[in-house]
A and B are shown apart, each in its own frame.
Chain A
């Protein structure tokens, strides 16, 4: 249960011998995630935290069954690592790396579409289905198994809100970090579709921020399909100075979307509860939508 990752997820860590790769492999293993292999070109044959290391993904898959990858590779080579995972047949690829060039991300997303793979990120904290699988860098102890699905464009702000939920004993089905880049694999609408079909999820929290129009599109979708589960939202950046404009092309593509005001109004117009402070997300969920005894 939960979305995208669960107890059946078996992952390869790409870039397992770097500082971050090593550190988070240990934490993912500690939280019960099945990490079956790692890659690091030139370091094949070694081990990290008891996980065998290979030079390439293809080689790792000759010895181990896996269906997912998590990438801790520097930005100039991150897209290539994602393509390697996609071509090797892995269906879920989490790209933790930030500062990936947009041109590279566009190529990765196109490849993922034709190979039917799901990309999470880049520039994401990853994904966690509490007590089952964590493919990411979030502190696992903040999360608790439960019924709220979270999708977020932010990293640390997600932990903030998830910790608030956990404190009110509102557990989570899956917490999905979409990634903070302009081009990412999954959108709020994708997440909403998956949470709608997930039996464990009873309510959804969306954590947005200024820039782009993902929140406005989510509001439109919620209205169009008469979304079957309650949704609450938080939007960061109410006090941010006006977003740097990206020439006329930006304005032509985005119109008047992108500000916190536009996003909050779009959500409110379709009945999504919008929290003023991060901690209010949990309270909104508890008070407005969920009866505590049913959790």
Chain B
């Protein structure tokens, strides 16, 4: 779950990390009132969870509360990469001497968290990592030893700081690590982490993505995610989320349902290979219940772009008889207005097939044959 910049900064403040003075505004007049309590000049920043908002004009500056209102008005209601801006963060502008980078993320191959620091922060950090990798220090954190203040000092020194500046920076790194661990961060990042002209360090931006699988430990956010996403999602996506199904809308006309992300991806690939275009990715998951299967079918069938549906099930933890009852349940509820191609093999496949055959539904054996069949039907319907 991605947090907004202002939320991430509120968390940083709890860890005594110095953040720019400021606050959130959802209306232009509110931005002016907020600015009046701060020292000019101001930075007005769109609160959206997409990268590259600076380049898209989502960060502007102002010298007076009145100008802050004008600028906030321009940003609020703006769309950045298709996302509507609903709030802005009004902050005191920082005097930048140098832009640094600091981030913490899980590294797959070392099975550790890695702390990344660079003296070449800012918008081009990814470019830096390719062209001048020596400007980036990575420290792989031993999970048994954890990350301590001395590790943070080593990182601060690697960026060329000494004396009290080294101590200040190390302390920020260390507190960022603590926050990242406490909040189960999939990613904790501050870019730029600014060295001010006064020689202080201030995170000008902050990103925190909480591991969705750990949300049970962060129930406030779990509840917010549920309520928030309901308003942002398409009807199909909202239904899928409720039924605990992984659904992604695509732009083709063949609805796809499968079990297991790898198999569903391979199914999309196969449809494409035979010249068809998948309308969606729908993973009913390992151990899909009849209810989930029925919900998956309802969702895919309700997409008006779908002209045919391909159900590709290979049962392991998923039981074919459960899949069959789900399919029959969906049929009983709404009937099938669109042609459906079913491939069903694996655990309890005899029982599953028997149930479908009894209702006049024929299930195929081979995934490739079934994919080809689905493409043929969709093409015929397109005319």
Contact = CB atoms under 8 A, between A and B. Distances in A.
Interface of A: 20, 24, 27, 75-76, 96, 98-107, 109-110, 114, 125, 137-139, 142, 152-160, 163, 180, 182-183, 187, 207, 209-210, 212-214, 217, 234, 236-241, 245-253, 255, 276-279
B248 A154 contact: no
A42 to B, nearest CB: 21
B262 A156 contact: yes
B80 to A, nearest CB: 16
Name the residue among B129, B136, B142, B191 with the largest chain A CB count within 10 angstroms. B129
A238 B272 contact: yes
Interface string B256-284: 00111111011011111100001001000
Given A100-B213, A247-B103, A251-B129, A107 B143 contact: yes
A160 B136 contact: no
Contacts of A158: 262
A243 B101 CA distance: 23
A101 B103 contact: no
A102 B265 contact: no
B364 to A, nearest CB: 13
A152 B265 CA distance: 14
Given A249-B103, A250-B187, A157 B209 contact: no
Given A100-B213, A252-B126, A247 B143 contact: no
Listed residue (B213, B262, B266) with the most chain A CB atoms within 10 angstroms of its CB: B262
B211 A102 contact: yes
Contacts of B181: 103
Given A125-B316, A158-B262, 5 more contacts: A27-B347, A103-B211, A156-B263, A248-B103, A248-B125
Given A156-B259, A238-B269, A106 B112 contact: yes
B58 interface: no
Interface of B: 51, 101, 103-109, 111-114, 116, 125-126, 129-130, 136, 138, 142-144, 181, 184, 186-187, 189, 191, 207, 209, 211, 213-214, 216-217, 248, 250, 258-263, 265-266, 268-273, 278, 281, 286-287, 314-318, 345-347, 366-368
Nearest to A250: B105
Most A Cβ at <10 Å: residue of B106, B144, B187, B261: B261
Contacts of A239: 265, 268-269, 271-272, 278
A59 to B, nearest CB: 27
B316 A139 contact: yes
Contacts, number: 188
A247 B368 contact: no
Interface of B is mostly: mixed
B310 to A, nearest CB: 14
A155 B285 CA distance: 10
Nearest to B345: A163
Contacts of B112: 106, 110
B266 A236 contact: yes
B213 A75 contact: yes
A236 B270 CA distance: 10
Nearest to A278: B266
Contacts of A214: 108-109
A47 to B, nearest CB: 23
A246 B186 contact: yes
- Among A156, A157, A212, A237, chain B packs the most CB atoms within 10 A around the CB of A156
A17 to B, nearest CB: 17
A252 B102 CA distance: 11
A252 B262 contact: no
A245 B51 contact: yes
B209 A236 contact: no
A237 B191 CA distance: 31
A217 B109 contact: yes
B286 A155 contact: yes
Given A110-B144, A248-B125, A156 B213 contact: no
A279 B366 contact: yes
A160 B263 contact: yes
A18 B316 CA distance: 17
B261 A106 contact: no
A224 B53 CA distance: 43
Nearest to B320: A139
A137 B317 contact: yes
B3 to A, nearest CB: 12
B142 A110 contact: yes
A235 to B, nearest CB: 9
